Structures are given as C-alpha cells and as structure tokens.
Amino acid sequence: MITQQQARQAVVPVVAVGMALLVLGPLLGRGFVLTYDMVFAPRQYLLPDSFGLGSALPRSVPADAVVGLFTTVIPGDLVQQGILLAALIAGPLGAAHLLNTENTAVRAVAAVSYGWTAYLAERLLIGHWPYLLAYAALPWIVHFARRGNLPALVLVLVPAVLTPTGGILAAGTALVAGTKKWPTAAIALVLNAPWWVPSLLHPGGGLSDASGVQAFGATSENWGGPIVSLLGLGGIWNSEVIPASRANPIVPLITIATVALALYGLRKAPWTRGITILGAVGVLLAALPTIPGGADLLSWTVSNVPGGGLLRDSQKWVAWWALPMSIGVALAVARYRSLIIAALILPLAAMPDFALAAWGRLHTADYPDDWAHVAEILEHDPRPGDVVTQPFSAFRQFGWNQDRTQLDPAPRFLPRPTVIDDTLYVNGRPVAGEDPRAAKVRDGRPLGTLGIGWVLVEHGTPGRTDTDGLDKVYSGEWLDLYRVPGAIAAGPDGPPRAPIVVADLAAGTMIVLSVLWLALPAGRLTLLHRRQRE
Amino acid sequence: MGKLVGVIASVLVGLALASGVTFAVSNASAPDKGVNLDEAPNPNNMSNTGSGGSRGGDGNVSYGSTP
C-alpha cells in the first residue's frame, strides 16, 4: 500500500522520468543516434587519442576513454541511450532537490523548468551529449558544494568533466556555490587534469582559427534578438538544430515574463546570489560575439591564448543561466501558487517539438556490416600504420543514416588512430582546424611519411575521393579499404606521455578515494554525524 | 497584483499552447523544405573525381549554417 507521503515523494521522479521518456522514447531499443557531433560505435577502442595523446586537440577527452571503457562490456548503442536518459533525468531531479520546500508542485515546477529547455533541445540535436551530462550535474554540484561534502562533490563532478567545456561549467559552479573554496578549487583542478594537461602540451599550441568566432557565435532565433534568445536558454549558432517553435513570435514574450518571474523569486533567496551572478556571466560570455567590440576581443583571445577556442561556441555558457532561472521560477510560484499550473505547462507548450525525439528529427540507425569487416581487418592485420579517411572532411551524410549530418564515425569505430580533416565548413566557408597531421595530409604530403598506412574510403556521402596508387584490400557497398604502398614511418609524436599519465592517475585516484570514503564506515559515520548536527 | 500576474500567465499559456503546436506541426509537415534539390551534392560513389595534389576541400559536408 502506497502512503500519501510516498506518493508525494514519487511525483518529481515521475515528472523527470516522464519528460525524459517523452523526448527519448522513440529512440530506445537497438540502434545508434548519429547526429552532428554525437557518434557512438558498437565498441570504441581505447587509443592514444582517447587520452589526448594523439595529434588532434583533446576536445573529447576523457569522454572517449570513458566511452571506450564502457563499450568493452556494454554495447555502444545501449551506452548511448543510458547516457542520454541519465542526463535528461538527473538534471530535473537535481533542480527540484535544491529547493528547501515540502511543496511537491513547486519542486515539480523546478524540475520542468530545468528539464525542458531550448539548451537541452539544441545541444541534443547537435549531439553534444557531454554538455547534457554537465548540465544535469550542475544542480547536484550546487547541492554538495553548499554542504561542503567534498567526496560527494567529487562524484557529481565526474560526469561533467568528460570534456573541457563541461569541466569549466562544473568547476565554475562548484567554486561559486562551494563553502570550501580552496579544497573545491583543488578538486576541480585535479579532476579536469585529464583534458587540460594534454591541451597545454599539444604540439599545435592550442590556438584556433579566429574566423570561428563569427561562425559559432550565438544567434537570434526570433524577433527578440540574440540576447533574448540567450536569456531563454537558446541561441545556438547552428540554425539547423534550432527547434521550429523557437521562431514562434510569442517566445520572446514568454522569455521576458519568465526572466522577470525568476528574478522576483531569486530576490528572497540569498543562497542563490552566487549562481545568479554566474548565470549572468554565462549570458554575457554567450552574447559577447554579438555586442560591439566583443567579437574582436574574442577573436584575439581565440588566436592568441592557448585554449581560447573554447570560447568560440559561445551559447554553451548559458548553461549557467538555466539553474537560477528554474530555481527562481519555482521560488516565485511558491509565493504565487495560482501560477503553478501555468509554470508546469508553459515550457512544454512553448517548445512541443522537443518531444518525440525532437519531433522526429532524431532517429536510430545501424552501421552497415562493412564497418565491422573493416574494423576486423585493421585489428588483425600486422602491417603498421594509422588510417586516414576519404572524403577528407569531418562530416558525413550517409544514405544509411537518412542523409543526416554526422561526424565521421571512423575515429571512434576503428581500432587504429584515424586522421580526419578537422576543417569545419559553416555556410560553405572553412574554419581551420588545429591538427598538424591533418594539415599535412591536406597539403598532399605522402601518407607513408606521416605514419599513415591505410586509407578508408566512405561511400554514399558528398565529397571527392582519390585512390590513385593505393592497393585495395577490402571492397564493400559503403566502404573500401586501401593499403598505402611502400614504407610507413612511425606516427608523429603527440604530447609527452608522462604528465598525461600522471594527470589521469591523479584524477582516477581522487575518484576512487571519494568512493571509498563514502562507502567505508569512517566516511559514513562522519556524514551521519554531520547530518545529526544539521 | 496577484490577479494581474495570473491573467498574464493565462494569456501566455493559451497563446503558447495554440501557436507552439502550430509551429511544431508546420515544421513536421514540411521537413525537407530546406533541401535544395537543384544543387544537391553528389554522393562520392556516384561521382568519383579523384585527382593529385592537395586533398579535401571540394563539396564537403557542412557542419551547419547560421541564420
């Protein structure tokens, strides 16, 4: 028999799970969601690039290593679905958990406000799953940072620090919300070391093409302009991933009303001051390319400061704004109870096309068998050399994935380091990449001298191919594999290994010690003692 | 004050319900309206245009587009 209290406690989890299923339901089952930057493979191999030891900038480090570890025991499509579900459920639960109220409806408002946003929709459509995880972790980071529970803080930071952007979002939140600033800073530094150490040591120097500032700057989704789009947690640079409902003329009015309501709610909650200021900083950073002088400042930073390229895709920083918005709205409706129903309905009514796999824009696909055959050849063939893919470009539109734009899956599918062109094309204009080996391939240098022994030709996607002088090893409907004749040199030296291994070990040790502290009697007794004091 | 806020909220919810679904449905009913059939890129297994010199650059898939 379920008691009334149990039923009340179940409301927020049911709301969170319900929203996640409403979005991801059509995608559950077998098959991969391959959209823009989101590429999962049945089994992702642990390669030097997974740890930032390759020639490419470590943008997906240590995410690739973590996915590689998971896919050694769980099929990649199930790993992908687990990650997406966890991200969409944990965020709303965390936002509701932050509220110090027994009122279930008010907590549900926080959950819906945080779990049904343009940020989630746009970042899901562009395939930035690590950002979704970071977004989901933010309320939990605030919760444990405020309490000064450092071992638990370490564990909730882990899903967020899988990429540089997620790591910065998480570190900023922990520092602002934390009561123990220096230990929190030390934790953030160590947990983020697996990406910042290889980034600093990258042979390319970590500088990026400044033209990306204009290409990846925040945009306007409607008549409200870019600032209002950002305040409404939208405004991503790529118009192809913006839900159609964001162009609705009423959206700016809803945004302005919601921001006003949230600021009213935040007024009487001093503990939210830090995260509100951080949210405002996030909006300011996101809006920088759109305000006078901002684009010049960003361009200089991107091309002169190592790692400054992180600022190019500016809209991602409004993740910091999402938490004060949802908490503020919930605190406001706690005062004006008549608004509870409206606050629960409005996010879904304003953006219904986030539901049902973004209104059918996402779907699952299976890799053609050619991919497994090629991976098997490359795994067992003793001849040396890394792989380069053709067409020599970053993105694909395969017929077997309904011609949807997706990142080349080869680096994550194949058991050898794979070079792809990291030049990105936006509106047909190139934004230069940072991989020095890719630049040499593009310039037509002999592949063997670059340590490349194999050429994978991917069919059914736009772009030209050139296989003159190569020996065909495998031929299939979707893939051909060629051997580069002649001597194959050793691959280029990536960053030095020792500091990166130390960084990985330090982060891993911190995580293991935190788990042990929380699991073993000493830590549990300390927590119990603390709770009793509270 | 409370009544005014309630009225504004009701109006916004009503408008959002009506127009939000309309926008979403109109997009779903014409999902390919952005596709340029006149200048569609050729898949490479239909037009292999290999040549020497530099690699990449021609007819590559775009990462995205800005408004």
Place of tokens 């594999």: A481
DSSP state for residue A233 in the 8-state scheme: T
pLDDT per position as a tens digit, A128-139: 999 999 999 999
Of A425, A442, A458, the CB nearest to B63: A425
Length of chain B: 67
Q: Tell me the C-alpha to C-alpha distance, in Å, between residue A500 and each of A47, A55, A165, A192, A208.
A: 14, 14, 19, 12, 22
Which residues of chain B lie closer than 8 angstroms to A339, CB-CB?
Answer: 5-6, 9
Of A208-217, A355-364, A423-432, B58-67, the poorest mean pLDDT is in: B58-67
Chain-chain contact of B44 with A342 (C-beta, under 8 angstroms): no
**Phi-psi region at A244: left, alpha or beta (left = phi > 0; alpha = psi -120 to 50):** alpha
Q: What pLDDT, on the 0 to 100 scale, is given for residue B58? A: 61
Q: How confident is the model at residue B12 (pLDDT cuts 50, 70, 90)?
A: confident
At residue A144, what is the residue type?
Answer: F
What gap in Å lies between CA A389 and CA A414, rounded to an integer? 11
Contact yes or no for A471/A485 (Cβ under 8 A) = yes
Name the residue of chain B whose CA is nearest to A398's CA.
B43
Of B9, B43, B58, the CB nearest to A461: B43
Angle A489-A420-A204 (CA atoms, 0-180°, nearest 5)?
Answer: 70
For chain A, the domains span 31-60+367-493, 204-335, 497-533
More confident residue, A208 or A114: A114
Chain-chain contact of B10 with A359 (C-beta, under 8 angstroms): no
Question: For residue A354, what are its two tokens?
Answer: 């986030």
pLDDT per position as a tens digit, A309-319: 999 999 999 99
Q: How confident is the model at residue A437 (pLDDT cuts 50, 70, 90)?
A: very high
Place of tokens 């159609």: A244
Chain-chain contact of B64 with A393 (C-beta, under 8 angstroms): no
Q: What pLDDT, on the 0 to 100 scale, is given for residue A89? A: 98
The SS3 assignment for A419 reads: strand
Strand A386-390 and strand A418-419: pairing? parallel
- Alpha helices in A25-101, H assignment, sequence order: 63-71, 76-97
Averaged pLDDT for residues A266-273: 94
Of A215, A352, A393, the CB nearest to B61: A393
Of A360, A397, A443, the CB nearest to B61: A397
Residue A474: is its pLDDT beyond 60? yes
What gap in Å lies between CA A178 and CA A195, rounded to an integer? 23
Average pLDDT, chain A: 94
Contact yes or no for A128/A38 (Cβ under 8 A) = yes
Torsion sign across C-alpha atoms A31, A35, A40, A42: positive
Q: Is A304 at the interface with chain B, CB within 8 A?
A: no
CA-based nearest distance A125→chain B, Å: 12
Angle A131-A357-A117 (CA atoms, 0-180°, nearest 5)?
Answer: 50
Phi, psi angles (nearest 5°) of residue A121: -65, -45
DSSP state for residue A349 in the 8-state scheme: H
Q: What pLDDT, on the 0 to 100 scale, is given for residue A386? A: 97
What gap in Å lies between CA A203 and CA A369, rounded to an integer? 36
Residue A387: is its pLDDT beyond 80? yes
Chain-chain contact of B60 with A36 (C-beta, under 8 angstroms): no
Angle A177-A181-A187 (CA atoms, 0-180°, nearest 5)?
Answer: 95
Residue A376: is its pLDDT beyond 70? yes
Q: How confident is the model at residue A531 (pLDDT cuts 50, 70, 90)?
A: low
Q: Tell me the C-alpha to C-alpha distance, in Å, between residue A218 and each of A106, A242, A317, A442, A534.
A: 32, 12, 10, 30, 44
Most B CBs within 10 Å, among A456, A466, A468, A475, to test the B interface: A466
Which residues of chain B lie closer than 8 angstroms to A458, CB-CB?
Answer: 44
Q: What pLDDT, on the 0 to 100 scale, is given for residue B43? A: 67
Q: What pLDDT, on the 0 to 100 scale, is given for residue B29? A: 59
Phi, psi angles (nearest 5°) of residue A492: -70, 155
Q: What pLDDT, on the 0 to 100 scale, is given for residue B50? A: 43
Phi, psi angles (nearest 5°) of residue A434: -120, -5
- CB-count burial class (<10 Å; 0-12, 13-18, 19+) for A491: buried
DSSP secondary structure string, A427-488? TTEEE----HHHHHHHTT--GGGGTEEEEEEEPSSBS----TTPEEEEE-SSEEEEEPPS--
Residue A14: is its pLDDT beyond 90? yes
Q: What pLDDT, on the 0 to 100 scale, is given for residue B41? A: 60
Q: What pLDDT, on the 0 to 100 scale, is given for residue A428? A: 87
Of A33-37, A91-95, A309-313, A511-515, the poorest mean pLDDT is in: A309-313
At residue B30, what is the residue type?
Answer: A
**Of A103, A97, A84, nearest in space to A20 by CA:** A84
The SS3 assignment for B29 reads: helix
pLDDT per position as a tens digit, B32-62: 555 555 555 666 654 444 444 556 556 789 9
At residue A147, what is the residue type?
Answer: R
Q: What pLDDT, on the 0 to 100 scale, is given for residue A204? A: 72
Name the residue of chain B whose CA is nearest to A260's CA.
B5
Rg over CA atoms, chain A: 24
Q: What pLDDT, on the 0 to 100 scale, is given for residue B60? A: 83
Q: How confident is the model at residue A227 (pLDDT cuts 50, 70, 90)?
A: very high
More confident residue, B49 or A517: A517
Task: Report pTM.
Answer: 0.94
Q: Tell me the C-alpha to C-alpha distance, in Å, between residue A163 and each of A170, A386, B55.
A: 11, 25, 30
Angle A120-A122-A128 (CA atoms, 0-180°, nearest 5)?
Answer: 80
pLDDT per position as a tens digit, A241-269: 999 999 999 999 999 999 999 999 999 89
